[in-house]
Structures are given as structure tokens and as C-alpha cells.
């Protein structure tokens, strides 16, 4: 009889996603601001660095997914990357937030190199840490539990950074002190890398891959011949784009629209309350209604609550924070539903093609996350250029309108666009039953062989 997931595995996995998302969101929130306002890099150049590096990072995700799918070691398929890569990730994270006081050209080169290296090392961990959730148990319910815990951990990590990072930065010199960002980066990176390392030591991979390695050309079919996955990836691109835009612009927003960087803490509180509430109620919804319908409803209401502050007026901070929290509530619902649908896509691949390809499927998910982040930072960069933004400039009506649009109006429009691919997404009830029966029969045979 297969031993169930241990509580320490669940706790460890959740904590690793707390740390991982602390790091990712710290980078998303501050890297553009650090480049433009602390290193003095022109917005157009900073945008080029971040967009090109992020796009290259996104391209690496499928490659890392295929590498992970080919990995066979005594530690497992995904665990080695969680054990051995964190120290490198720690170093590259801190390098991104050091002001070396070089000349302009050298500063640009160092900033670009550091950010590219960070993205590549983050990928080495990002793919395995999500893909391992699909192999820690042979039970669908436990796999769903792990992916849900991972998403919850991600929200907590995001909230901690959003609420707490500005407090740490202000404690060590404030938003205009490069040293403050360096110290905060060290703290965030240490928490993230230690928690990921512990998870690598703690988790057990219970679905053992076939000894025969699937050829790369065949492995790619995991995506190309999985229509539900393709449609889901499009919707995830758009949902993640909403979060990416808000993360990238929120530092500028609280500084130039609300006039106080410490209000970033209040934005974080709205985020965590909304997201966690949304995630908490979603499992009950999934038991009662179709996942696709839940997703569409979440996008519709998310659009409404995102748009209201733009038209009514964001100057009322409390009013805006309430509506930000409500929009994040529906984002939280969409995140949990999409995670459950992603697990369905992994099982669908095994049912249709005969192999799972977790690494490539989850790499497609992280590819989408990073591609959306790339697009989000590109939108921010274009916005800064169009608004003729310069470091430390006084607030103008153009800045207020522009940053308001990026926080409220653009996300509302994207929420509506997200619903379109979902109308074509379909895994029938009959297919789900066939998939479940096939997997149960397969795992029973594996259990008998192991016995």
C-alpha cells in the first residue's frame, strides 16, 4: 500500500513556494525601478534589458522542461535541481541589486548580464519545483492538494514581499538607497534558497518515470497534440499578464499617484486578503460546478472590480484598496482553477500519448508566466517612454492617468480577453472517466511489480 504524503512534505513544499515567490515578486516589483532610479539607466535601455532578458528566460523554460524529463538520478527526476541549484540562484539574485558605481556603459553591461544569469538560474529551479507536484503521489486528490498548497504558498510569498519588502527597504535607507535594496535582496534570496534546498531534501518522488527516455521530438507532442493544454496556456498568459502589469507598476503607482511608497504595504494587504479568500473558497466551487464556468465567471467579475476605480476615481485610497482586493479575490479563484486544470492536462497527455511529460507541461506553464512578465514590463517601459518619465520627476496629470490605466483599466480589459479561449477548452466527462480508469489500472500494475 502506497504511503500517503507526509505532513512535513506538505509543509516543506508550501514553504518552498513561499520563498520562490518572494524572490520572483521581489524581482518583478523592483528591478525596473532599481535600474532606472538607482542605477540611472534610461527607461528605454532598462526596458530593452528586461524585455530581452525575460524573453530569453522564457524560451529557456521548455528546454529546461525537456532536460528535466530526461533526468534520471538516484535522487529522482526533479529533486537534484532543488538540492544543488539554490546557491547559484542566491548569488545571481544579489548581483542584480548591487550598485557598483561603474561608468554608464559598464553599468548597463553588468546590469544586463546579472539579470540574464538570474533568469537562467531561476529557470533551473522553477520548472522542477512545480513539476514535482505531479509525481509526489499516485493519487489525484493528493496531487491536487500539493498544487493547491503550492499556489497558496505563492500567494503568501507574494504578500510577504509586497507588504514587508518596502518596510525593510525603508529601514535601511529608503527607496532611493541602493544599499537598502542590496540588503533586502540578500534577505529575500536567503529565505528562498534555503526553503527550496530543504524541500529538495524532504520530498519523495512516488511516480517513477520509465527507464526509457522519451525522445525530444516525441516529448514535444505533450504540448502540440494536447489542445486543452494549448487553450489553457493562452488563458494563463492573459491572467498572468494582469498580475505582471500590476507588479511592475505598483512601485511607480504608490510613489507618483498616492505620493507615499509605504502604501505599498496596504496594496500587499489587499492582495493577500483577496487572493487567500479566493483560493480558500475555490475548492468548494470546483466540487459543485464545472471548472471552465468558474474560470469564466472569475474573469468577468475580476474585470468589473478592476475597472471601477479607474472611472470612479483612484484618489480615494481606501476605496481603491477595497476594489484591488476584490479583483485579487477573483484572480485567486482563477489561479486555483487553472492549477487543477493543469493537472488534468498532464493526465490527459498520459491518456492520449502514453507518457506524462510533466517537466515539459509545467515548463510551458512557467514559460507563459515569464512571457507574460516580459510583456508586462514591456508595457510598463513603453508607458514610461510615452509619458516622458524621468528619474524622480514631479507628479503630473499624465503620470497619474498613465499609472492609473496600468493598474486598473488595462487589467480590466485583459480579464475580458481571457474568457475567449476558454469557450473552446473542453475535456469531456467521458474522457475524464477514461483517463482516471486508465491511470488507476496503470498504477495498480506498477504497485504489483514493486511488491
Which structural domains are found in the chain, ordered by start? Answer: 7-450 (1.20.1250.20)
Does the pLDDT of residue 315 top 70, yes or no? Answer: yes
Judged by average pLDDT, the poorest of 59-73, 114-128, 267-281, 302-316 is 59-73
Condensed to tens digits (0 to 9), the pLDDT of residues 292-314 reads: 889 999 999 999 999 999 998 77
Q: Where is pLDDT greater, at 64 or 278?
A: 278
- Tell me the mean pLDDT in the region 400-423: 91
Q: Where is pLDDT greater, at 224 or 22?
A: 22
Give the pLDDT confidence score for residue 13 in this predicted structure: 93
Condensed to tens digits (0 to 9), the pLDDT of residues 149-165 reads: 887 888 789 888 888 89
Length of the chain equals 451
Confidence of residue 184 (pLDDT cuts 50, 70, 90): very high
Give the pLDDT confidence score for residue 312 in this predicted structure: 86
Judged by average pLDDT, the poorest of 44-48, 66-70, 253-257, 425-429 is 425-429
Cβ-Cβ contacts under 8 Å for 202 (sequence gap 6 or more): 8, 9, 12, 13
Give the pLDDT confidence score for residue 213 in this predicted structure: 59
Confidence of residue 1 (pLDDT cuts 50, 70, 90): very low
- Tell me the mean pLDDT in the region 94-119: 93
- Tell me the mean pLDDT in the region 383-388: 88
For residue 431, give the C-alpha cell: 474522457
Confidence of residue 205 (pLDDT cuts 50, 70, 90): confident
For residue 9, give the C-alpha cell: 512534505
Cβ-Cβ contacts under 8 Å for 305 (sequence gap 6 or more): 323, 326, 327, 330
Does the pLDDT of residue 117 top 60, yes or no? Answer: yes
- Tell me the mean pLDDT in the region 196-225: 74
Confidence of residue 189 (pLDDT cuts 50, 70, 90): very high
Give the pLDDT confidence score for residue 113 in this predicted structure: 95
- Distance CA(371)–CA(378), nearest Å, equals 10
3-state SS of 360-403 is HHHHHHHHHHHHHHHHHHHHHHHHHHHCCCCCCCCCCHHHHHHH
Confidence of residue 443 (pLDDT cuts 50, 70, 90): low
Give the pLDDT confidence score for residue 279 in this predicted structure: 83
- Tell me the mean pLDDT in the region 409-416: 94
The share of the chain scoring above pLDDT 90, in percent, equals 30
Judged by average pLDDT, the poorest of 162-166, 293-297, 319-323, 357-361 is 357-361
With H, G, I as helix, E, B as strand and everything else as coil, classify residue 177. coil
Q: With CA atoms as reference, report the closest residue to 208 among 385, 2, 363, 8.
A: 2
- Tell me the mean pLDDT in the region 364-379: 81
Condensed to tens digits (0 to 9), the pLDDT of residues 6-41 reads: 889 999 999 999 999 999 889 988 998 899 889 999
Q: Where is pLDDT greater, at 34 or 286?
A: 34
Give the pLDDT confidence score for residue 185 in this predicted structure: 96
Q: Where is pLDDT greater, at 225 or 293?
A: 293
Mean pLDDT score of the chain: 84
Give the pLDDT confidence score for residue 227 in this predicted structure: 78
Question: 282-291 burial, b for 16+ CB within 10 Å, e for fewer?
Answer: beebbeeeeb
Condensed to tens digits (0 to 9), the pLDDT of residues 233-283 reads: 888 889 889 888 887 888 888 888 898 888 888 888 888 789 889 988 888
- Distance CA(300)–CA(267), nearest Å, equals 22
Q: Where is pLDDT greater, at 219 or 83?
A: 83
Cβ-Cβ contacts under 8 Å for 128 (sequence gap 6 or more): 68, 78, 79, 81, 82, 359
Judged by average pLDDT, the poorest of 72-86, 134-148, 367-381 is 134-148
Answer whether 0.85 is exceeded by the pTM: no
Amino acid at each position: 500500500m502506497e504511503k500517503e504524503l507526509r505532513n512535513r512534505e506538505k509543509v516543506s513544499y508550501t514553504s518552498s513556494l513561499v520563498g520562490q515567490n518572494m524572490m520572483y515578486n521581489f524581482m518583478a516589483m523592483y528591478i525596473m525601478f532599481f535600474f532606472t532610479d538607482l542605477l540611472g539607466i534610461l527607461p528605454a535601455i532598462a526596458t530593452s534589458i528586461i524585455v530581452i532578458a525575460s524573453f530569453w528566460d522564457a524560451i529557456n523554460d521548455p528546454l529546461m522542461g525537456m532536460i528535466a524529463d530526461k533526468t534520471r538520478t538516484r535522487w529522482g527526476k526533479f529533486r537534484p535541481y532543488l538540492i544543488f541549484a539554490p546557491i547559484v540562484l542566491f548569488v545571481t539574485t544579489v548581483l542584480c541589486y548591487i550598485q557598483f558605481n561603474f561608468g554608464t556603459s559598464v553599468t548597463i553591461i553588468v546590469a544586463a548580464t546579472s539579470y540574464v544569469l538570474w533568469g537562467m538560474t531561476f529557470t533551473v529551479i522553477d520548472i522542477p519545483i512545480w513539476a514535482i507536484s505531479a509525481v509526489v503521489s499516485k493519487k489525484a486528490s493528493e496531487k491536487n492538494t500539493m498544487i493547491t498548497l503550492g499556489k497558496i504558498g505563492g500567494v503568501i510569498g507574494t504578500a510577504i514581499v509586497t507588504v514587508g519588502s518596502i518596510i525593510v527597504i525603508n529601514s535601511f535607507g529608503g527607496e532611493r538607497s541602493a544599499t537598502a535594496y542590496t540588503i533586502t535582496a540578500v534577505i529575500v534570496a536567503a529565505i528562498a534558497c534555503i526553503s527550496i534546498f530543504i524541500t529538495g531534501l524532504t520530498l519523495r518522488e512516488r511516480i517513477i518515470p520509465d527507464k526509457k527516455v522519451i525522445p525530444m521530438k516525441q516529448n514535444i507532442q505533450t504540448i502540440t497534440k494536447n489542445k486543452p493544454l494549448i487553450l489553457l496556456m493562452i488563458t494563463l498568459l492573459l491572467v498572468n499578464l494582469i498580475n505582471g502589469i500590476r507588479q511592475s507598476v505598483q512601485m511607480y503607482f504608490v510613489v507618483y499617484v498616492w505620493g507615499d511608497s509605504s502604501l505599498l504595504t496596504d496594496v500587499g494587504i489587499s492582495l493577500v486578503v483577496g487572493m487567500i479568500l479566493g483560493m480558500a473558497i475555490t475548492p468548494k466551487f470546483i466540487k459543485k460546478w464545472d471548472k471552465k464556468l468558474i474560470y469564466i465567471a472569475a474573469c468577468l467579475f475580476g474585470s468589473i472590480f478592476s475597472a471601477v476605480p479607474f472611472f470612479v476615481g483612484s484618489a480615494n485610497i481606501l476605496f481603491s484598496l477595497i476594489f484591488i482586493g476584490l479583483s485579487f479575490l477573483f484572480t485567486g479563484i482563477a489561479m486555483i482553477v487553472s492549477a487543477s486544470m493543469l493537472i488534468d492536462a498532464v493526465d490527459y497527455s498520459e491518456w492520449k500519448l502514453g507518457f506524462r511529460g510533466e517537466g515539459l507541461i509545467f515548463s510551458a506553464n512557467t514559460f507563459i508566466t515569464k512571457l507574460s512578465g516580459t510583456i508586462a514590463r514591456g508595457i510598463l517601459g513603453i508607458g514610461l517612454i510615452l509619458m516622458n518619465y524621468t528619474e524622480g520627476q514631479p507628479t503630473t496629470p499624465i503620470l497619474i492617468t498613465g499609472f492609473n490605466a496600468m493598474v486598473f483599466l488595462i487589467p480590466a480589459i485583459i480579464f475580458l480577453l481571457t474568457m475567449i479561449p476558454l469557450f473552446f477548452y473542453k475535456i469531456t466527462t467521458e474522457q475524464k472517466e477514461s483517463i482516471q480508469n486508465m491511470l488507476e489500472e496503470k498504477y495498480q500494475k506498477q504497485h504489483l511489480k514493486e511488491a
